[in-house]
Amino acid sequence: MGKTTAEKIFDAHTVDRPFGDITVIRLDAVFCHEITTPIAINDLVKRGKDRVFDPDKIKVVIDHVTPAKDSKTAMQGKILRDWARRNHIKDFFDIGRNGVCHALFPEKGFARPGYTIIMGDSHTCTHGAFGAFAAGVGTTDLEVGILKGVCAFHYPKSIKININGRLKKGVYAKDVILSIIGKMGVNGATNKVIEFTGNVVDDMAMEERMTLCNMAVEAGATCGICYPDMTTVSYLWEFIKGDYLSTEAALEDYQQFRADPDALYDNIIGLDVSSLEPQMTYGFKPDQVKPVSEMAGLPVDQVYIGSCTNGRLEDLRIAARVLKGNRISDSVRAIVSPATPKIYNEALQEGIIGIFMDAGFCVTNPTCGACLGMSNGVLADGEVCASTTNRNFNGRMGKGGMVHLMSPATAAASAITGFITNSALFEKIGG
């Protein structure tokens, strides 16, 4: 019998099967940020076990609140910084070099096909875009990962979603994943891995695959996975060229993590996205999804473009195409947070930052900030935000605020008018 991608990765990493299908796997990377790691560090210190299983496999960033906004967040940064230093963790990204974890770490080549990755962050599923098994965990799992380099999971069950057809102009990976979550529900993939396949996924750039996998957890999934292909190899080439004689050789090696045709799935879903319209959420749950056209005209107070879902260069390019030559409405304030310094710099070189500024956007440093209502754009009670982030829970961006999730194109169009607007009105995409 064939195996799914997650099964292949698990079988190559199994350390122990202590009970039933519980599988303790060896970890290739443990990612850390300043919100969920400090308590693990404090606990390790308290236990007299202030050490790490392998300093080269631990990657650390301060991203959620940066620069620190108060004494407490400054202390979180300090705990992380001091710990990284005394444990000789060289991949530590402090302000100036930091960015949103799930955008920064892929950019550094830390996510690879076949890898097992954990992080104390639910959107760790993003890294599955590289054909890795990457899962969000709590602080205790993280603590054991840091100390022992292992983590326990149920042996993975998978759902395959075959996405075929041709996306219309103005419809993006974000619209695809929102429509999928709308269909599956917030609980539709709980305890499952989602494999995203089909010609639409094959045609996607790594950035779009990351957008897709990023929101897998909003349907409850442990991880979203795309098969490694030449797109993956090209993205990673600068990091792996010492390991392989050619890109073809790398691809051949990575093929071992493609699911077998006769692999067993819990469910196989076929989706033709050719007639899909731009989508957005309307409530406090990510599965409350409607076409943007049905929500058009709803006033917004703030527009936010950024996050690990849609703060990458291609997202900024898409928004800039809509914004170019326009100004945002006087009734809104708009914020863009390029997800990493590299993205920021490239956007600057391409003139994209200028377009945002001319339109009236505030450009912030790379950070999560507003996405989780911590800093850089917290909503007031009763305010509405058109946002490219991934979570619209009640209070997510500020107590009493409403968050509508959408693509960068829709968010940019909504910034121009001051109300929910289909980007088609503004988008100037050549053929």
Partner 1 sequence: MKNFSGNVLFLDRSDINTDEIIPAKYLTENSKEALKPYLLEDLVLKGFDPRKDISGKHVVVTRGNFGCGSSREHAPWAFEVNDINMVIGEGFARIFKQNMFNCGMMAVELSPDTIDHIFKTCGGKATTIETDFGSQCMIIRADGFEEKIVFSISGFDKALVEKGGWVEYADLNY
Stretch that binds ligand SF4, among 49-57, 81-89, 198-206, 365-373 (CB under 6 A): 365-373
Residues 191-250 that bind partner 1 (CB under 8 A): 191, 220, 222
Contact 131, 257 (CB under 8 A): yes
Residues 330-359 that bind ligand SF4 (CB under 6 A): none
Tell whether residue 431 is a contact of partner 1 (CB under 8 A).
Answer: no
Rounded distance between C-alpha atoms, residue 52 and residue 89, angstroms: 9
Query: Which is closer to partner 1, CB of 20 or CB of 242?
Result: 20
Closest CA to 310 of 427, 172, 217, 201: 172
Among all chains, which residue has been given the structure tokens 């993939």? Answer: 189
Site string for partner 1, 14-33 (x = CB under 8 A): -xx-xxx-x-x---------
Closest CA to 213 of 239, 181, 256, 257: 181
Query: Which is closer to partner 1, CB of 9 or CB of 403?
Result: 403
Name the minimum Å distance from CB 12 to partner 1.
18
Rounded distance between C-alpha atoms, residue 139 and residue 274, angstroms: 41
Residues 372-391 that bind ligand SF4 (CB under 6 A): 372, 389-390
Pick from 6, 29, 61, 65 the residue near partner 1 by CB under 8 A. 65
Residues 339-398 that bind partner 1 (CB under 8 A): 372-374, 391, 393-396
Contact 249, 318 (CB under 8 A): no
Tell whether residue 370 is a contact of ligand SF4 (CB under 6 A).
Answer: no
Residue type at position 54: D
Rounded distance between C-alpha atoms, residue 132 and residue 161, angstroms: 17
Query: How far apart, in Å, do the first and last CA atoms of the chain sit?
Result: 45
Tell whether residue 127 is a contact of partner 1 (CB under 8 A).
Answer: no
* Prior bond of 67 cis (ω within 30°): yes
Closest CA to 116 of 88, 143, 156, 80: 156
Rounded distance between C-alpha atoms, residue 191 and residue 267, angstroms: 13
Tell whether residue 75 is a contact of partner 1 (CB under 8 A).
Answer: yes
Rounded distance between C-alpha atoms, residue 373 and residue 389, angstroms: 11
The residue ranges that bind ligand SF4 (CB under 6 A) are 64, 100-102, 121, 123, 307-308, 368, 371-372, 389-390
The residue ranges that bind partner 1 (CB under 8 A) are 15-16, 18-20, 22, 24, 35-36, 38-39, 42-43, 47, 49, 64-65, 70, 72-73, 75-76, 79, 120-122, 124, 136-141, 143-144, 147-148, 150, 152, 186-187, 190-191, 220, 222, 285, 372-374, 391, 393-396, 399
